[in-house]
Structure 1
């Protein structure tokens, strides 16, 4: 008995322990960073993601790439979460956050080989992260809502390297115009900015419309094209005769019965329309269908109506006009109506659309994006989404930083000086953190076809000389003043990227045992107490035993 090992896990269980577990997780995290690395910067390349159904996405957007890739490895997914958090919080900087996270793991791997304990690395990384955020606050510049030039530079910087870059000046102007139009004393609600895409024309043909554009036409040619000083109703219902929930046969034995049956339907439709007419509505947006007879009744009453309005459009119309979305036609009241100075069917970008303008209750605008193909328009929309987000957070925080790798180079310089005041082995971790931050300017240089060593040496030299805003111009290869060049980004993009990348790297470094735990409650990556214990996603770690095997074809196809 004493010579036989005790078996406490099932034969099917997989377990990776100690150095192997750390190495496997670090390799997984680095692989995710490597997948996104080549998209960073003005000269970053795009990825083509092909779905199993043959649908194609061509993008430079880090979070889109990582979301669409079918990554199964739980450690790799923790790095993907860094990009998702970055997107949710600040809209931009997803690739930077992932690249920093990957390099923090790479630097930690070297320290582990030197027998530095993971806890020492963790403490050093956390100290460096807090110091970095403090330093960024010190070098940030103030931006206010009247500083249109800086806001446009921030908007344009967020589009750099994406498909919209050739028209970024025009698009940046539109983005800043949109955000400042909906800004008020409480902040910026980007829900009041509707982004509409239209295939055809050039990106430069994109425009900002002061109001809401709904991709619908009036439902009947008998209806008016235009309603001035319009009362607007939004109905989440249909203007049709209700169907029974079960199949029903109606036996008609003489023409009078058929006439009575049809009269009843007409009466029901007439009552529905009368409910709307009695409120004084001039325009009606219905989220379901409108019966042909109801269309005629509405037209006779001089009401402009649209059917099958998307729920997102209905919500936008309600926000813009102040209307209440009504769930049942019989419940509609005059108080539920919104107001618009005008609602008109117009030719917008070559197609007929309903345009709602001059709204009083809420400022609302529509960005109409154009492009030669569907893939181009989709990528422009992703760039605009990032750009809207960064202008919003800049107005909220009032702080911005130079771009082009300048903040990372300055942080690296000051963190190396800070490391001297940190005792113990944590000092090595702080220095490693500084090295990891320099992966941003190094990657910018690599993606721009420049020599990364020469670029980094020149960048360090200028920062040593006191030029905190010196960054890399990847087009010329020169190190220039980023403020003068107009390459600016929000402070929060950098602080969020560094903070979330540090948290993810530290969490992975603390793991020394990976166990295929079966059906864990909660299904989360991080473990909690017994009742809410987390674990790898459903199905366990998959190919964990084989290192990166669990990442499957999704990762293999990207490398």
Structure 2
């Protein structure tokens, strides 16, 4: 194989860091125009299709590639900061880029003055932690009538979007699930689905019963939950015999159903012998096991698991859950129950809420929140409508940002907008400095760069 050579750049004269800074500055200037409710659009060229018109900092950030390798390294560094913010908060990518640019610019000044970069970084970190604590003290819980305003501001002062998101949370509750999908019309619409819905579709199109919308639909359906891969069709003999004898539809939710077992199910379904559909269990690993338990609780069934001493061959009707209606589409499944398991569901939700309170990982909290929403029995779906594909993508990005900002506001509260909170934080920096260890940590007024956000052109 050909050897891969790397360029080496030494920073004795600060030329390397100046190049990195040039890349960061370019990103901030480009992404910065999208900031705030009056942010402007950016047109992105597309080599293999029509151009994209976007108002989303993260999308712009992904498209930037520079010819100079050092400047492009600066782009990658600041891209990481923006992506991290977006992963945690779901919004705020542009703000984090502008703040990062200011921190780097001020940091370069004190570096040029001969300050110790390790101490500078340590001082910035400790000051930032103190400012986050101050920001939490400034925040307050969002009231119901303010949800529309928060969403609208994040969507570029689009109050139609803000009101739709507010209505969605009003109908499913603050802990409910709100999803965004591509619509089939030219206008946005809101649909609320009662029941548990998750993103898993049928394993074979031969399970379809309603060919008009390509879905498998059953009423008064029994549900078999299996926490393993089903490979041998003989394992299903007992439960399928019950379904045939007592004439009830059967939905099988398993880790997977392999070829021979799947072929047997589809063959018997097509012959009219049994009403059946099979899907994969939602999620993976430990989350998959927990999701199966959630479905068992809401349907009143029992999960067939080897570690619990249950074998699939022994599973009879007593293991099955019940649903008043089941709709299985290509990519999603909806389970509607009769409410008879409400008390058990409430206990399960309370248990998961306790896990949310004890969890420190944002991703884990998000997963737990989705489980609570599914168990709560209502999901709001915002269908995004547009005239063209380009318009659809732009509108969907705006609505996603608005939804993420609203969810963050519900979870952590709100502060005064327009950069005012950041301005007030900047006035506390001198007090915070007094708690730092040495002159090099205290010297940089780097975090006064928060003012940059307020006066960003």
Please indicate, yes or no, whether the TM-score normalized by the shorter chain is above 0.5: yes
Q: Decide which of 23, 35, 52 is 1:28's aligned counterpart.
A: 23
| Residue 42, structure 1, aligned to residue 37, structure 2 | yes
Q: 1:310 to 1:200 in 2, by over 3 A?
A: farther
What is the rounded CA distance, in whole Å, between the counterparts of 2:23 and 2:331 in structure 1? 50
Pick closer, same or farther for the CA change 1:326–1:417 going to 2, 3 Å.
closer
Q: Offset at 1:437?
A: 0.8
Matches of 2:236 and 2:134, distance apart in 1 = 68
Residue 170 (1) aligns with residue 169 (2): no
Distance 1:329 1:374 in 2: 47
Give the corresponding residue for 1:490: none
Q: 1:131 to 1:306 in 2, by over 3 A?
A: same
SS at match of 1:17: coil
Contact 2:56 2:397 in 1 (8 A): yes
CA distance in 1, matches of 2:323, 2:48: 43
SS of the aligned residue for 1:209 comes to strand
> 1:172 deviation in Å?
3.1
Q: What does residue range 134-145 of structure 1 map to in structure 2 within 5 Å?
A: 134-143=133-142
**Contact 2:239-2:315 within 8 A present in 1 as well:** no
Paired with 1:169 and 1:375, the residues of 2 have a C-alpha distance of 24
Which residue is equivalent to 1:439?
452
Map 1:318-329 to 2 at 5 A: 319=294, 321=298
Q: Give the equivalent residue in structure 2 for 1:200.
A: 185
Partner of 2:425: 411
**Which residue does 1:363 correspond to in 2?**
376
1:371 positional shift? 0.8
Pick from 198, 222, 225 the counterpart of residue 231 of structure 1.
Answer: 222
Aligned-pair CA distance for 1:102: 0.9
Distance 1:28 1:230, change over 3 A: same
Q: What do residues 255-286 of structure 1 show as CA deviations (whole Å, max 9, x unaligned)?
A: xxxxxxxxxxxx99999954765798634267
CA deviations on 1:163-217 (whole Å, 9 max, x unpaired) are x6642221232145445253xxxxxxx6xx55443232411x2223223387889
**Pairwise CA distance, 1:413:** 3.1
Q: Quick one: distance in 2 between partners of 1:228 and 1:310? A: 20
What does residue 372 of structure 2 align with?
Answer: none
CA distance in 2, matches of 1:317, 1:11: 48
Matches within 5 A, 1:309-388: 319=294, 321=298, 334=317, 337-343=320-326, 355-358=334-337, 360=341, 361=345, 362-364=375-377, 365-372=379-386, 373-388=388-403
Q: CA deviation at 1:377?
A: 4.1
CA gap 1:239/1:38 in 2 versus in 1, 3 angstroms? same
SS of residue in 1 equivalent to 2:38: coil
In the superposition, relative to structure 1, how do residues 158 and 115 fare at CA in structure 2: closer, same or farther (>3 Å)? Answer: same
Q: Residues 440-479 of structure 1: matches in 2 within 5 Å?
A: 440-443=453-456, 446=457
- Give distance in 2, aligned partners of 1:12 and 1:306: 55
Name 1:159's counterpart in structure 2.
Answer: 155
**Residues 1:199 and 1:378: Cα distance change in structure 2 (over 3 Å):** farther
Tell me the TM-score normalised to structure 2 length: 0.65
For residues 109-258 of structure 1, what are the structure 2 equivalents within 5 Å? 109-119=108-118, 121-143=120-142, 147-160=143-156, 166-175=160-169, 177-178=171-172, 180-182=174-176, 194-203=179-188, 205-211=189-195, 212=197, 219-220=208-209, 227-233=218-224
Contact 2:326 2:334 in 1 (8 A): yes
Report the counterpart of residue 508 of structure 1 in structure 2.
none
Pick the structure with greater CA Rg. 1
User: Does 2:444 correspond to 1:429?
Assistant: yes
Change beyond 3 A, Cα 1:280–1:98: farther
Which deviations, in whole Å up to 9, do the C-alpha atoms of 1:138-175 show, x marking residues without a partner?
A: 322234xxx322344434444336xx664222123214
CA shift in 2, pair 1:13/1:325, >3 Å: farther
CA contact 2:155–2:161 (8 Å) conserved in 1: no
Paired positions, count: 386
Residue 219 of structure 1: how far off its partner (Å): 1.0
1:538 corresponding residue in structure 2: none
Cα shift at 1:46: 3.3
Does the 8 A contact of 1:179 with 1:392 survive in 2?
Answer: no
**Offset, 1:343:** 2.9
The 8 Å contact of residues 149 and 159 in structure 2, kept in 1 or not, is answered as: no
Alpha-carbon shift at residue 354 of structure 1 (Å)? 6.8
Q: Which has the higher contact order (CA 8 A, sep 6+)?
A: 1
Aligned-CA RMSD value: 4.9
Q: 1:329 to 1:38 in 2, by over 3 A?
A: farther
CA distance in structure 2 between the partners assigned to 1:276 and 1:29 by the alignment: 64
Change (3 A) 1:269 1:408: closer
Which residue is equivalent to 1:282? 249
